[in-house]
Amino acid sequence: MGDSSARQAGQSDQDLQEMVAKTDSGARQPAGLPGRILFYTALAWSLFQLWVASPLPFIAGIGVFNDTEVRSIHLAFALFLAYTAYPAFAASPRDHIPIVDWVFALLAAASAAYIFAFYQDLSGRSGAPTTIDLVVGIVGMVLLLEATRRSLGPPLMIVASVFLIYTFFGPYMPEVIAHKGQSLAKVMSHQWLTTEGVFGVALGVSSSFVFLFVLFGAMLEKAGAGNYFIKMAFALLGHMRGGPAKAAVVASAATGLISGSSIANVATTGTFTIPLMKRVGFSGVKAGAVEVAGSTNGQLTPPVMGAAAFLMIEYVGISYIEVIKHAILPAVISYIALVYIVHLEALKADMQGLPRRSQSTLAEKLASFAGIVAGTSVIGLAVYYGIGWIKTLAGGGAIYIVALLVAAAYVGLLKFAARYPELEMDDPDDPVLQLPEIGPTVKVGLYFLLPIVVLMWCLIVERFSPGLAAFWATVLMIGIVLTQRPLLAAFRGRPGTGTMRQGLDECIDGLVIGARNMIGIGVATAAAGIVVGTITLTGIGQVMIEFVELISGGNLMLALVFTAIICIVLGMGLPTTANYIVVSSLMAPVVVSLASNEGLIIPLVAVHMFVFYFGILADDTPPVGLAAFAAAAIAKSDPIKTGIQGFMYDIRTAILPFMFIFNTQLLLIGIDGWFELIVVIVGALVGMLLFAAATQGYWLTRSRLWESAALLLVTFTFFRPGYWWDMVYEPTRVVPATEITQFAEQLPPDGKLVMMVKGETIDGDVVEKAVQLPMGPAGSGEERLTNAGLETRVEDDGKVVADNVMFGSPAQQAGLDFDWQILDIRVEADRPPKQLMFIPATLLLALVAMLQLRRRKAGAG
């Protein structure tokens, strides 16, 4: 019986690893010369990306590539590996590479590298492709679509093909989406020979930023950080009610720091956490669902965010720090809510946690907590001010001093870690499993946090580009992988024979794994570029605005629901990155336009976050959700039921985007001062926890139907107090358009001028909508308006119209056009803070709490 169980467990683990490999890095592992070619090609790709991300090419004066050349070589590597690492069909061989795949791999790589090889020639004949150019473009496009099918499945290939067909057959389409159509030469030139299509922004983000972050995550995992995060989460939370599930959520969040793949996250943490969840009382379906919900939400976790963070930089036009600022609060409250859902499940089933090896007194716990806080604060202040002083005193030589200090900190933390035993991965099926002790567990891996600190320091304090920040963090990780074993052996007084070679092998494996994990992302961003290229070539973006406005009746909420459905449906087949690119390119302008027609100004980043959140949900949405299938394989549960339960846990993630569209303070937009920030955070957290309680039907005890409804009402009020407050007080006051110059002068530096405007579009439709202009630095009103690209005139009848709208200016980008009438200026009204609505909400919450406490007491009695 035991042998049978072991065989089943081994088979399940093997199936899981095959699923992850098939999805993330390719299922083919050939031996002999083909295996070595595959191995060294992946290694060369990683080394190339490290080279172009480093300052070395500029120091040495050799190997300097421009952005387009890097994209070309990046895609050449990705396509070559896609054909050699991914079999054509399920029945295709895995142990060797057929001749036809070698041919396809070389042709695809050559087609992609054509841009690099003939960059100067192509630049000189831009818009006038030769026959060879067109042949290369056609071959490259066909092979890219096939590589997409192999590495990502048919859905993205079908979506890209549909958009490509639409480009040619525009005149034969239904009238609402028809266009004049394009020639083969025009399409191939646009899609393959320029940076408008395949080699566009998305592929540029993949080559410049994403690769380095994926490589950084692969090196962290190879060094053992994944095991450390899991053990630390269990040490801290495993003793609580439903502790393994809470630890699974935290471990998934931590793994999300280093992994942009929800399926890999499930495989990394789930193999340990799911059996332990089942041990303390969770059913297989619920154990798998908790892991799925935690792992899919790992893509919400900065800094990687499934590569979406870097795409938002380009598509929204904001800095990386701003993206992280907008993403952090929703991600944190989403994870806290998932921990709370797990807690409620444990309460409902009266579950317990896992036993500790030793029990600490309250005084010891408080002293330990105070020591950690004090130590962290002292170190943080010392680092912040110390580096500032070093930069002031040493100038250009500061970087070398800081590098020595980081190296000294690493050696010191490693020596500190050597006092404690190494972390072993426990067997979750061991009948007498005890939690690891908190102190030794946390201390033994503190040096793993050093590269993350370096990464965040470079991004936030030094304001390096994401690519350069990831480069330095990855260099540190490579150093750690190479040296941690020999140094630990030396500090522990053990022989270090072979440890340096072991470190070198692990480093090379990490570089290869990082490259293989990038195959799908590289191909996906290139294929998604076909969609973006079609939008720019055919003008379907404007058509989509009219189409969605037609089917939604101009209703913003219906348009948002429509967008969410598109995200989830496409996300069932598309990877998160490709889904985000496709839907945001099509729908973000639509939502912003419909909102402005209703007089609402919705920041573009809010719409992009909306699309991203719903794209993530597809990973646990039946019938396709691959993360659910991976978790079900470990839990030995039904994958459809696991996916449905995971989606139920993830409803909290689905409600957040609707909330931050209408209350952008949840994205930390429009917050003035620390007090308002604290109120927003507390309100959002309370709202999310109450939403979790309402959807679980359990708060202080089992909820009655009206109590769940009351909790939902309180949730809505905490998330969007302005909805009720706008019924009591007008949200804005109207300033006459004739005062636009005086009002522009009075606005603070970088203030926003919001206007209602009316005019005729290029299609002959008369629209009335809100536009927002950034006013830039202080100055005279006329100066500031001119800098924003707007010149006005007052007509004889008193109307104020746009006399001139400069091309490419903020005014033109905001949707303002020549001769449009400025109806009035909208200013936020002086009124009491909307957070006063928290008071009646809290009173209703107190009533529900009183009734539930009374019922719980009666039940206990």
Task: Summarize pLDDT for 87-119 with one digit per residue, the tens.
Answer: 988 788 888 899 999 999 999 999 999 999 999
Average pLDDT (562-581) is 81
725-748 tens-digit pLDDT: 989 998 888 889 989 999 888 888
Residue 8: pLDDT band by 50, 70, 90 thresholds?
Answer: very low
pTM > 0.85: yes or no: no
- Return the pLDDT at 4: 41
**851 or 435, greater pLDDT:** 851
Q: Could you give phi then psi for residue 844, rounded to 5 degrees?
A: -65, -40
Reply yes or no on whether the pLDDT at 154 is more than 60. Answer: yes
**17 or 635, greater pLDDT:** 635
Task: Say which residue the tokens 């496409």 belong to.
Answer: 570
Reply yes or no on whether the pLDDT at 563 is more than 80. Answer: yes
In sign, the C-alpha dihedral spanning 220, 222, 226, 227 is: negative
Residue type, 214: V
Q: What secondary structure letter does DSSP report for 96?
A: S
Q: What secondary structure letter does DSSP report for 518?
A: T
What tokens does 119 get? Answer: 């960059």
What tokens does 598 get? Answer: 């209703």
Q: What secondary structure letter does DSSP report for 421?
A: P
- Return the pLDDT at 290: 92
Instruction: Give the number of residues written for the chain.
Output: 861
Residue 373: pLDDT band by 50, 70, 90 thresholds?
Answer: low
Q: How far apart are CA 31 and CA 553, in angstroms?
A: 60
Helix (H) or strand (E) holding 794: strand 790-794
Q: How far apart are CA 115 and CA 73, in angstroms?
A: 9
Residue 481: which residues within 8 A CB-CB, separation 6 or more? Answer: 219, 222, 223, 503, 506, 507, 510
Alpha-carbon distances of 214 from 470, 521, 523, rounded to whole Å: 9, 10, 15
Whether a cis peptide bond, with omega within 30° of 0, leads into 749 is no
596-631 tens-digit pLDDT: 877 788 888 999 999 888 888 776 666 666 788 888
Reply yes or no on whether the pLDDT at 594 is more than 90. Answer: no
Q: Are 752 and 744 in contact (CB under 8 A)?
A: no
The candidate with the shortest Cα–Cα distance to 151, out of 83, 80, 75, is 83
Alpha-carbon distances of 704 from 232, 523, 532, 711, rounded to whole Å: 38, 50, 49, 11
229-269 tens-digit pLDDT: 888 888 888 888 888 888 888 888 877 766 666 777 787 78
What tokens does 618 get? Answer: 């597809």
The CB-based long-range contact list for 500-505 (8 Å cut-off, 24+ gap) reads none
Q: How far apart are CA 69 and CA 171, in angstroms?
A: 35
Q: Are 620 and 576 in contact (CB under 8 A)?
A: no
Q: Are 585 and 167 in contact (CB under 8 A)?
A: no
Beta strands in 42-178, from DSSP E residues, in sequence order: none
Give percent of the chain with pLDDT exceeding 90: 31
Among 313-317, 332-336, 481-485, name the most confident range.
481-485
Residue 364: pLDDT band by 50, 70, 90 thresholds?
Answer: low
Angle separating helix axes 519-538 and 211-223, nearest 10 degrees:
160
440-467 tens-digit pLDDT: 888 888 899 889 888 878 877 777 888 8
- Return the pLDDT at 24: 55
The candidate with the shortest Cα–Cα distance to 726, out of 822, 823, 600, 552, is 600
Angle separating helix axes 184-192 and 519-538, nearest 10 degrees:
130
Q: Are 755 and 737 in contact (CB under 8 A)?
A: yes
Among 259-263, 486-490, 545-549, 626-630, name the most confident range.
486-490
The candidate with the shortest Cα–Cα distance to 575, out of 612, 524, 526, 614, is 524
Q: Are 838 and 716 in contact (CB under 8 A)?
A: no
The candidate with the shortest Cα–Cα distance to 251, out of 239, 264, 268, is 268
Q: Could you give phi then psi for residue 772, rounded to 5 degrees?
A: -125, 125
- Return the pLDDT at 386: 74
Q: What angle do CA 325, 656, 754 make, to 5 degrees?
A: 65
In sign, the C-alpha dihedral spanning 494, 475, 228, 454 is: positive
Residues β-bridged to residue 735: 825
88-92, 254-258, 297-301, 530-534: least confident range: 254-258
Q: What secondary structure letter does DSSP report for 734?
A: E
Residue type, 434: Q
